[in-house]
Amino acid sequence: MVRYTLMHKEVCVAEMELDETTGYIKKIGELYSAEHLPVGIAVKKNIIDRAALNEWWIDRSIPASRSGIKQALEVFELSNTKVLLMRCFGLSLSDQYWIRSRETNITWKEINFFDNPFSEDIGDVLIGKTTETANFDFRSPDNTSDGCLKKRWESIDGKRCLVKGGSNPFMQQPFNEVIATRIMECLGIEHIPYKVMWDGDKPYSVCEDFITADTELVSAWRVMQTQKRDNSTSVYRHYVNCCEALGIKNIVHSIDQMIVLDYIIANEDRHQNNFGLVRNANTLEWIGAAPIFDSGSSLGYDKRSNQIVSGKEIECKPFKKTHTEQLKLVSSFDWIKFDRLNGIGDEIAQILNQAGEYMDENRKQAIISSVEKRINDIETIALSQTQVEDDIESDVEENIAETYENNLSL
Ligand SMILES: Nc1ncnc2c1ncn2[C@@H]1O[C@H](COP(=O)(O)OP(=O)(O)O)[C@@H](O)[C@H]1O
Ligand SMILES: [Mg+2]
């Protein structure tokens, strides 16, 4: 058992003991700052809900469903990804939490990854570049990165960037990110811009860190832990309620924009950790909805061309099980300037042309025609739809991310 202080930048939050072999929080000691606890962790009579804090802590580690993680753990000679957290102080490039061993008095300023360099060793292994671990340095924000696709943080031209792969056999996600970027640019939706970068014969998407040393991303999942949801409240309504209680302005509009984008690109993986809010990590003031990121699991990324055309079996998250149902939640389409999307087919063709052998002509046409059809759908609906009263009938029941391990062949 090792004794740590849970830290939020330079603020001491609570004392805790971690089990070195499992990575779990075994015991929680004194609470110094309930305010600075991660969002949605309950405190009763000055006692932190340990199960909830463990869930938060474990969620910080690389998910067991990460593509290639088994091989990476063999290289590290570790049994699980949770123990990696302890080797990088639990630091991340998406928020400001970390842990400090009680034997040290190291400061956040000295070790945070926003201002200080980090090791590329973990990233090299995670991306499958090396299996060499001599003189290995574990201090990397990759130890706290979420999501199932192979990815790493890299410093490119002095900027922290997330470099993320695609899944077999089409490697389509990096191109989808660029297409989504372009659609959001046209529609004026606040977003993180992505580019494609090649490493050998593999495409990757690259985006800059949108979090700084003074902000942090709080996922919708965490936001939804701030209140109890009763069985008659839909996931959508619950999220809006939680955001409004936190004082977030205009959340309905931000969600409208996300739902419309996800309809157009047939996004299948907008689970509750793929959107959220941003707050000031010093003052804890809420800044607003996070810009849209992670839109790659879309445009039939794992489907055959004819399935893309038919549009059947497209999954939908986070609110409703189908995109048609989810689109009914949109309260206003007035902000959409449809004419801005006029040339989008040609632009998509240009983006997909860069995919080389991963993309044949049939597939390209299927993607373009499905996007054009879905834009037309929205245009039609926008003319007629009035928002309906939401219920839980067609709600998504669980918050589960897409995994790609079985997508090796079709
Ligand atoms: N540009 C970014 N800046 C800061 N944090 C990010 C950024 N992009 C993603 N993240 C964080 O990293 C996590 C994983 O990235 P994501 O793009 O969702 O990968 P995946 O496609 O594998 O789910 C996200 O859930 C979010 O917490
Ligand atoms: Mg994600």
Q: Which bound ligand lies closest to the C-alpha atom of 66?
A: 1
Report the nearest-CA residue for atom 2 of ligand 1.
Answer: 209
Distance 273 CA to ligand 1 centre (A): 9
CATH of 215-383, one of 3.40.640.10, 1.10.1070.20, 1.20.120.140, 1.10.3720.10: 1.10.1070.20
Residue-by-residue DSSP string for 232-285: TS-HHHHHHHHHHHTT-TTHHHHHHHHHHHHHHTT-S---TTSSEEEEETTT--
What pLDDT sits at residue 384? Answer: 86
Distance 126 CA to ligand 2 centre (A): 16
Q: Which bound ligand lies closest to the C-alpha atom of 174?
A: 1
Long-range contacts of 32-41 (CB under 8 A, 24+ apart): 33/8, 35/284, 36/8, 36/11, 36/284, 37/13, 38/97, 38/222, 39/218, 39/222, 39/223, 39/225, 39/226, 39/279, 40/222, 40/223, 40/224, 40/225, 40/226, 41/225
What pLDDT sits at residue 247? Answer: 98
In the chain, list all ranges with CATH 1.10.1070.20: 215-383
- Cα 62 to Cα 80: distance, rounded to the nearest angstrom: 9
What pLDDT sits at residue 408? Answer: 44
Which regions in the chain score pLDDT beneath 50? 408-410
Report the nearest-CA residue for atom 10 of ligand 1.
Answer: 94
What pLDDT sits at residue 387? Answer: 64
Distance 357 CA to ligand 2 centre (A): 26
List, chain by chain if needed, residues with CB within 6 Å of any ligand 1 atom.
Answer: 93-94, 145-149, 151, 162, 164, 192, 207, 209-211, 217, 273-274, 293-294, 296
Distance 217 CA to ligand 1 centre (A): 10
Looking at ligand 1, which atom is closest to the CA of residue 401? 23
Distance 143 CA to ligand 1 centre (A): 13
Q: Give 289's contacts (C-beta < 8 A, 6+ positions apart).
A: 190, 248, 250, 251, 254, 255, 275, 276, 277, 278
